[in-house]
């Protein structure tokens, strides 16, 4: 094969250019510390690296979201801790105000303290986070959730939602709570039913009877289809024919649901207080001085079930799995009522307590009325405290989940960066060796080209 001088020159220049290009690439790799400078250097590795970088950026945003969520939840938890302290303070004041030794003036002084705690509670309920968003307004972060219309009358203007942040590809976690769930949707009474004074024929009760909040001893029995959940405990008091210095006090449990077909009928013996049937069923006689079916003893349980000797109940073998008690001395016609629990916000509860303090009448009847109001307050405050503690526990669970997710995300970031490093980082030992070798190749190419370019027949023409 004949090789012309032109081919020699072209091939030598081509080799020199390739070696120079290789050296330049190696020099760039050594100066940047990266193996892949352009996608063409390693198309597969470059694509994998790009995907991992995108995953790393996304994961770092999740970590930022986690940090924001932790801050918001920590603020809410601290806020609710202060709310808990206020409620406990009001409970202490309630117990203190129940002392019969306190006068009306002293109870009004307690009311002034309660009013201050009430205002503090509203302030806490309207707390904002570092971004100016209200903690307890649901989705409406820019809307003030609680607005006072009058003392004890507070309107909730937020909604039922919970703001959420994305903390992982598959998990959004709530970082706020609805104020309605914390401060408004609180069951009164014992959570199932509530007990209050129903009054005498002339208005308020005239005796000193004080009713307990009551308790459901068997929730399954309470769901009996015959249970109307609205009852009246009515007292009948007559002189004791044996000892005129004493009285005989009996009571009846009466269906008090106005929508019921058995409204105003005795649960114990079926007597109808509207029609007076059966005739003579509630007529006091010498043989039966007090015609009401059950004997009253202060402090004893009033059971919502058929008892031994009660032969004609409204419902055979009825048992609704509940009980309560009344202490004190009721007057004839005094009554108490039992109704299903309903939602009552904490501000209304405190307002009712303040009204009870300011309207207290310093008498035995006034003391009994106040004690009934106080029992209702204490029961409602217990329900409020339980509700807030439940929310706090939920916040704690979310914070634990956030901590766990942050740890996972941080570990994932390390893994992503390690893999990217393996794909793109330069092996300096190998690169330096290649650089030295390429320099040698380039130098050899230069010297050989220098030698070859002198080979020409024209040198021998004289």
Please report the pLDDT score of residue 30 as a whole number: 63
- Answer yes or no: are the C-beta atoms of 156 and 344 closer than 8 Å: no
The pLDDT of residue 261: 95
> What pLDDT score was predicted for residue 14?
63
Q: What is the pLDDT of residue 80?
A: 95
Tokens representing residue 397 in the block: 């669970």
- First vs last C-alpha separation in the chain: 28
HSE-CB at 30 with a 13 A cutoff on CA atoms is 15
Residues of the chain with pLDDT under 70: 1-50, 52-53, 55, 202, 411-414, 416-431, 433-439, 441-462
d(CA 22, CA 16): 10
pTM equals 0.77
d(C-alpha 435, C-alpha 431), whole Å:
6
Q: How many CA atoms lie within 13 A of 203 on its CB side?
A: 3
CA gap 290, 59 in Å, rounded: 79
Cα separation, 330 vs 9, whole angstroms = 126
């Amino acid at each position: 094969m004949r090789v012309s001088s032109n081919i020699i020159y072209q091939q030598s220049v081509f080799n020199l250019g390739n070696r120079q290009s290789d050296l330049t690439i190696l020099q760039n790799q050594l100066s940047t510390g990266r193996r892949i400078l352009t996608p063409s250097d390693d198309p597969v590795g470059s694509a994998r690296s790009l995907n991992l970088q995108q995953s790393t950026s996304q994961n770092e945003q999740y970590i930022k979201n986690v940090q924001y969520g932790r801050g918001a939840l920590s603020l809410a938890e601290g806020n609710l801790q202060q709310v808990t302290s206020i409620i406990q303070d009001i409970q202490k004041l309630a117990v203190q105000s129940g002392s019969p030794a306190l006068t009306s003036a002293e109870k009004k002084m307690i009311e002034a303290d309660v009013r201050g705690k009430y205002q503090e509670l509203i302030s806490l309920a309207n707390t904002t986070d570092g971004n100016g968003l209200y903690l307890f307004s649901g989705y409406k972060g820019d809307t003030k959730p609680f607005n006072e219309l009058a003392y004890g009358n507070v309107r909730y203007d937020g909604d039922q939602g919970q703001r959420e942040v994305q903390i992982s590809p598959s998990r959004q976690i709530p970082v706020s709570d609805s104020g309605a769930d914390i401060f408004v949707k609180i069951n009164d009474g014992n959570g199932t039913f509530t007990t209050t004074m129903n009054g005498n024929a002339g208005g308020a009760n005239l005796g000193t009877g004080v009713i307990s909040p009551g308790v459901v001893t068997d929730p399954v029995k309470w769901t009996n289809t015959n249970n109307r959940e609205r009852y009246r405990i009515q007292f009948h008091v007559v002189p004791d024919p044996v000892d005129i210095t004493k009285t005989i006090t009996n009571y009846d449990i009466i269906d008090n649901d106005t929508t019921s077909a058995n409204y105003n009928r005795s649960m114990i013996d079926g007597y109808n207080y509207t029609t007076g049937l059966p005739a003579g069923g509630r007529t006091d006689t010498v043989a039966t001085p007090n015609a009401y079916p059950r004997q009253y003893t202060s402090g004893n349980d009033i059971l919502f079930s058929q008892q031994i000797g009660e032969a004609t109940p409204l419902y055979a073998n009825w048992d609704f799995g509940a009980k309560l008690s009344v202490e004190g001395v009721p007057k004839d016609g005094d009554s108490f009522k039992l109704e299903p629990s309903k939602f009552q916000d904490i501000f209304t509860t405190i307002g009712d307590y303040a009204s009870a303090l300011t309207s207290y009448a310093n008498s035995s009847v006034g003391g009994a009325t106040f004690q009934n109001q106080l029992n209702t307050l204490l029961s409602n405050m217990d329900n409020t405290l339980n509700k807030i503690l439940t929310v706090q526990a939920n916040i704690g669970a979310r914070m634990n989940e956030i901590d766990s997710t942050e740890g996972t995300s941080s570990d994932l970031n390390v893994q992503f960066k390690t893999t990217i490093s393996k794909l793109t980082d330069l092996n300096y030992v190998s690169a330096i060796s290649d650089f030295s070798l390429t320099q040698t190749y380039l130098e050899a190419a230069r010297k050989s080209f220098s030698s070859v370019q002198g080979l020409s027949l024209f040198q021998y023409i004289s």
